[in-house]
Structure 1
Amino acid sequence: MAQRGTRATASDASLLDKLGGDIDPELLSLALTHRSWAYENGQGPHNERLEFLGDSVLGQAVTVRLYTRHPELDEGSLAKRRASVVSTVALAEVARGIRLGEHLRLGVGEDRTGGRDKDSILADTMEAVIGATYLSTGPDAATSLVLRLVEPLLADPERYGVAMDPKTGLQELAARLERPAPVYEVDSTGPDHDRLFTATVAVGDHSSVGVGTSKKQAEMAAALAAWHELSARA
């Protein structure tokens, strides 16, 4: 029987269709439950243990794929590529691609301050979903899910550098496109212990927005968004 806060919903079923896997509905529901929701609803279970498991599954799947696909790369190059694919910014991008934020269970305060689009929450939840897949269907199915989700990142060598350092990547792209250097503006909302930062980066007449739990994280998210948008238009 599901514990309070982990009962499956119609929204969970919709996400299952997007993931394309046979994930146990109650485990998926738990994977989507942020600690802020649990604390507001009787100190129930939340997704951090699944996140811990999913992080290991993710790392192993990406490591093996990079090792077997790129025999020409040395250890340092493989490590850099792996770091870019499993980074918070990259995982948040994957999560947005399946609209994961719409399915999160967040506390009222976290929800009001933009938690559904915070890189850290999206990335952590993505790892928890991977952990739930592993427990539900085993290592092979979990590995298949990981590789399907991150394949666009693995297949795009230009993004390795930008995922690791989006601000430098955007600056270099702006120079190649003969545009002005990026200019950042950052605002913040919320109490001191739980601030949400929103960064806007302007590259000439183009602007992009990113959010994060720190000024640096918000600027990185905005830079990565701008890099993708300008690259698509180049």
Structure 2
Amino acid sequence: MGGQLAGEIASAMAVDVLRDHLERGAAAGEALVGNVDQRHSPTANRLASGIRRANQVIHAAGKSKAAWRNMGSTLVAAQLHDQRLAIAHVGDSRIYLIRGGSIIQLTDDHSLVAEQQRQGLISQAEAERSPLKNIITRALGEGPQIEVDLSDLDLIDGDRILLCSDGLTNMVDDRAILAVVGAEDDPQRACDTLIATANAGGGRDNITVVLVYVAAAGFFTGLRQIFSQGR
């Protein structure tokens, strides 16, 4: 958001601040930013705290340089703990659960067309064609405070968790994502295939994909990221 360069700077800030906040919290019990939501796990609340801190940093940075004005970022984060998945997010980057041959979106997009869909004003098909589909209603950097959505999920053996930016989901629909992730037992190859499919469809935006496969022997992950380079 705020131009490609500023958007990439904001995204990098978000990741760095969140990582540092989580590491310091684990090591020294650093105080949480914002209120604790008792409906959700301590892990999810720590993720939300890190996202709030990232928002503060990005918002302040956006006021410090003219080139960074109005910069922002979406952010989706998940943490595995004792066979549970804690989730926190802002914006329209998504987390999916692939389980038993089905794909379930675990996050709600913070976008204008998604809100119109939730209110029953437009259909899924109309949302996909809407010229307003890229309007985000919530993002890091917009103000000194941010509302973060939280959730927790019990995991089972065989679950596959996908985190992705809209660079993927704008180009590849849920059925195609399910076909790739459900059929590929190597998460890295699945990530590569998803990126290639998005690029074949036009690849108009930066694409980030993270996959986690849950198995009795442990967790297996893949990561793939490609930048649009101005496309």
TM-score (norm 1): 0.25
Structure with bigger helix share is 1
Larger radius of gyration between Structure 1 and Structure 2: 1
TM-score (norm 2): 0.26
